[in-house]
Amino acid sequence: MDLGEKIRRLRVEKQLTQEELANRCELSKGFISQIENNLTSPSIATLVDLLEILGTDLKEFFNESHNERITFTNDDMFESENKDLNNITKWIVPNAQKNEMEPILVTLFENGCTKEEKPHEGEEFGFVISGAVFVNMGNEKYKVKKGESFYFKPRRSHFLSNAGKKTAKIIWVSTPPTF
């Protein structure tokens, strides 16, 4: 493992300069440079401080697993049909509930809707691929047509319903995962 390169990559991902990282850790810019160039090694306490500011911890930092999947095929996806609600939900990223966001493909047939979700922390985003839907939030209803999107903080009960006679398809992303 190239400790210095990994710290540099995390710092750049967080859009921090060496000086900004050094200031946040109460270290010198030169010391950060030496760590990133593998000219010195930080103490465990200093490494813990660096990693906290870089948004990770020792366990995650030293995890050498490179099995993160980037692409998924139709064979990887799971689909569930709800005849009572007249919809199909397709989890397009398997095991997404362990991630920070969970994307699904929702198909709403005529008079179809999704299950009502209770208020929760996080955010919701959707893009209507075909048809039109209503985003139902509490007592309010917002119409979203093909090629349009919706975005909200789910502080009220909410669900989607088909707004017409045509089948509607929606990519819906929730963070944290709730589907």
Task: Identify the DSSP state of 108.
Answer: E
Tell me what pLDDT residue 99 has: 80
Q: Do domains 3-62 and 74-175 have the same CATH topology?
A: no
Fold of the domain spanning 3-62 = 434 Repressor (Amino-terminal Domain) (1.10.260)
36-76: pLDDT as tens digits: 999 999 999 999 999 999 999 998 898 866 567 789 999 98
To the question of domain 74-175 being in CATH 3.40.5.90, the answer is no
Tell me what pLDDT residue 129 has: 98
Close Cβ partners of 147 (under 8 Å, ≥ 6 residues apart): 128
Q: Listing from the earlier edge strand, what are the strands of the sheet with 140-145?
A: 140-145, 132-137, 158-162
Bridge partners (DSSP) of residue 128 are 170
**How far apart are alpha carbons 16 and 19 in whole angstroms?**
8
User: Which portions of the chain are predicted below pLDDT 50?
Assistant: none
Tell me what pLDDT residue 70 has: 85
Domain ranges of the chain: 3-62, 74-175
Instruction: Write out the DSSP string of 82-104.
Output: ETTTTEEEEESSTTGGGSS-EEE
Bridge partners (DSSP) of residue 149 are 127
Tell me what pLDDT residue 66 has: 57
Tell me what pLDDT residue 67 has: 64
**How far apart are alpha carbons 115 and 84 in whole angstroms?**
10
